[in-house]
């Protein structure tokens, strides 16, 4: 699947460690831009340009952390206060969409807890609006997917329990399916999570979901 822009993570790794083998009198670096799984473009730049690029990318990371902190502060606000300020469900969904884009980076996903954003995100699993509960679980799926460190942080923050509750008892089917997706990513290759799922009788809930008339669960 084609990306909308360069793959920054891959680009950074290559820009730090690869050169074109030119002579010392003409030191160049190869910056790799990934436009598709089978399409890579190498751009030769000078050491000066490489340093400029690295500084720009560092600024990009700092900006992401800053935005994540701002989003975390909003998530900490009580629902009634957000309502009084005219913040709508669509506004909150858009905010969570942005957060999800940031935490697609494993490093930023792991930073979510240290900047105070993980616990507020978990609290959104109990939001009165089903759309927000579903979206919060969707973001958590991205946070913990193939990420042992964030899996551990979510377990330590008691994030498993509200996910299981939403999966088993939430009246909204979208909330239940998103919670199941988050649980799947949380316990994958995670012995602590697997044990918690078994002790909470999660397999019985999964069995009931699979034999239900709900097409989403059957898939």
Number of domains forming the structure of the chain: 2
Determine the pLDDT at residue 205.
81
> Quick check: is 53 in a domain?
yes
Check whether residue 175 and residue 146 sit in a common domain. Answer: yes
| Contact partners, residue 188, CB within 8 Å, separation at least 6 | 146
Check whether residue 128 and residue 180 sit in a common domain. Answer: yes
pTM for this structure?
0.70
Check whether residue 114 and residue 174 sit in a common domain. Answer: yes
Neighbours of 78 (CB within 10 A): 8
Check whether residue 20 and residue 101 sit in a common domain. Answer: no
> Quick check: is 66 in a domain?
no
> Quick check: is 67 in a domain?
no
> Quick check: is 15 in a domain?
yes
Nearest one of 102, 106, 99 to 121, comparing CA atoms:
99
Check whether residue 152 and residue 212 sit in a common domain. Answer: yes
Q: Which residue has the tokens 């697997």?
A: 194
Check whether residue 198 and residue 130 sit in a common domain. Answer: yes
**Rounded Cα gap, residues 219 and 205, in angstroms:** 15
Under a CB-based contact definition with an 8 Å cutoff, are residues 116 and 122 in contact? no
Check whether residue 45 and residue 149 sit in a common domain. Answer: no
Check whether residue 95 and residue 192 sit in a common domain. Answer: yes
Determine the pLDDT at residue 52.
57
> Quick check: is 71 in a domain?
no
Determine the pLDDT at residue 111.
95
Domain range for 50: 1-61
Check whether residue 140 and residue 108 sit in a common domain. Answer: yes
Determine the pLDDT at residue 212.
65
> Quick check: is 169 in a domain?
yes
Determine the pLDDT at residue 73.
92
Under a CB-based contact definition with an 8 Å cutoff, are residues 130 and 175 in contact? yes
| pLDDT lower than 70: segments of the chain | 1-62, 211-219
**Rounded Cα gap, residues 14 and 91, in angstroms:** 37
> Quick check: is 140 in a domain?
yes
Check whether residue 52 and residue 138 sit in a common domain. Answer: no
CATH number for the domain spanning 104: value is: 1.25.10.10
Check whether residue 84 and residue 191 sit in a common domain. Answer: yes
Check whether residue 82 and residue 162 sit in a common domain. Answer: yes
Determine the pLDDT at residue 157.
97
């Amino acid at each position: 699947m084609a990306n909308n822009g360069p793959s920054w993570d891959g680009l950074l790794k290559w820009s730090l460690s690869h050169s074109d083998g030119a002579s010392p009198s003409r030191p160049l670096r190869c910056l790799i831009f990934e436009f598709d799984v089978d399409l890579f473009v190498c751009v030769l730049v000078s050491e000066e340009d490489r340093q400029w690029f690295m500084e720009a990318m560092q600024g990009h990371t700092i900006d992401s952390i800053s935005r994540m902190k701002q989003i975390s502060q909003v998530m900490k606000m009580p629902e009634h206060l957000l309502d009084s300020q005219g913040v709508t469900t669509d506004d909150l969904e858009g905010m969570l969409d942005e957060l999800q884009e940031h935490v697609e980076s494993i490093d930023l996903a792991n930073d979510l807890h240290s900047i105070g954003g993980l616990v507020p995100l978990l609290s959104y699993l109990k939001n009165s609006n089903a759309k927000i509960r579903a979206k919060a679980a969707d973001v958590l799926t991205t946070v913990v997917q193939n990420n042992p460190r964030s899996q551990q942080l979510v377990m330590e923050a008691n994030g498993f329990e509200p996910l299981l509750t939403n999966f088993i008892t939430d009246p909204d089917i979208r909330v239940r399916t998103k919670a199941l997706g988050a649980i799947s990513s949380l316990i994958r290759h995670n012995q602590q999570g697997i044990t918690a799922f078994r002790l909470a009788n999660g397999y019985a809930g999964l069995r009931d979901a699979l034999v239900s008339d709900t097409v989403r669960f059957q898939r």
